């Protein structure tokens, strides 16, 4: 199982209501892709005066790396990237994790 995490820093001036719209659009668009097993997204909350550089996160789960590749090659994902992420994101940090203990990540 592959857990793909995108930490997104939005461009300056993106209004708070747009963050909400991005979250809704992410759920609507990305869950239409068959290879996406689950999706979680959320906006940052202030923690004791420590401000995060990331305004938003997307967490996608895939059965394996082939399914992940297939999902990111899907036309709906490309449309999501060009219409939602690129116009609003200043920086995106991507992290991926293998969720099965003992499994060699080279064969995920």
Annotate 76-94 with b (16+ C-beta within 10 A) or e (fewer).
Answer: ebeebeeebbeebbeeeee
At 67, is the secondary structure helix, strand, or coil? helix
At 101, is the secondary structure helix, strand, or coil? coil
Phi/psi-derived region of residue 22, left when phi > 0, alpha when psi is between -120 and 50, beta in every other case: alpha
Question: Is the pLDDT confidence value at 106 over 70?
Answer: no
Question: Is the pLDDT confidence value at 14 over 90?
Answer: no
Rounded to whole angstroms, how far apart are CA atoms 21 and 14? 11
Rounded to whole angstroms, how far apart are CA atoms 18 and 7? 17
pTM, entire model = 0.85
Tell me the percentage of the chain whose pLDDT exceeds 70: 90
The CATH number of 6-55+62-97, from 3.30.70.100, 3.40.50.720, 3.40.50.300, 3.30.499.10, is: 3.30.70.100
Nearest one of 18, 20, 14, 35 to 77, comparing CA atoms: 35
Rounded to whole angstroms, how far apart are CA atoms 60 and 81? 14
Q: What is the pLDDT of residues 44-94, one digit of tens each?
A: 887 776 667 889 999 999 999 999 999 999 999 999 999 999 999 999 999
């Amino acid at each position: 199982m592959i857990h793909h995490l995108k930490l997104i820093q939005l461009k300056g001036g993106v209004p708070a209501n747009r963050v909400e719209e991005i979250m809704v659009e992410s759920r609507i668009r990305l869950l239409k892709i068959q290879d996406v097993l689950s999706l979680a997204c959320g906006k940052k909350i202030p923690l004791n005066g420590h401000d995060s550089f990331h305004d938003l996160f997307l967490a996608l789960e895939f059965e394996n790396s082939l399914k992940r590749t297939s999902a990111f090659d899907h036309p709906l994902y490309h449309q999501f990237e060009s219409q939602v992420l690129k116009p609003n994101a200043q920086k995106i940090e991507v992290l991926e994790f293998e969720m099965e203990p003992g499994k060699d990540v080279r064969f995920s």
